[in-house]
């Protein structure tokens, strides 16, 4: 568990160079601003942070700090538990390492 809020941790990681915004997309992560996508073998998960909602368990989230094979650093925020998204098994395994 993390002693910071999600937004505080995001701000700290942005200061460390994790400035791209990644999203889950079935079997890959995407950076819509750069029109780029990365399969599981094209990125590394550097750090993982879990956050629990203060009043509602459905507010649980997970923050991934990611570096891609072409050197881009960014963040991916996703729900976990009840609110987790539906993604490929390969992508799920990569994120859960």
Average pLDDT over residues 74-90: 76
- pLDDT computed for residue 83 by the predictor: 44
Nearest to 24 by CA among 64, 69, 71: 64
User: Which pLDDT tens digit goes with each residue over 22-64?
Assistant: 999 889 999 999 899 999 999 999 999 998 766 666 668 899 9
Paired strand residues for 49: 63
- The pTM assigned to this predicted structure is 0.86
Angle at 25 between CA 16 and CA 36, to 5 degrees: 60
Average pLDDT over residues 3-20: 94
């Amino acid at each position: 568990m993390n002693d910071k809020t999600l937004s505080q941790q995001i701000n700290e990681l942005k200061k460390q160079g994790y400035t791209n915004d990644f999203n889950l997309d079935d079997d890959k992560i995407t950076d819509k601003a750069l029109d780029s996508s990365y399969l599981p073998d094209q990125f590394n998960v550097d750090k993982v942070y879990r956050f629990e909602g203060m009043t509602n368990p459905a507010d649980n989230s997970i923050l991934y700090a990611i570096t891609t094979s072409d050197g881009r650093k960014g963040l991916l925020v996703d729900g976990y538990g009840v609110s987790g998204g539906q993604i490929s098994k390969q992508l799920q395994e990569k994120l859960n390492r």
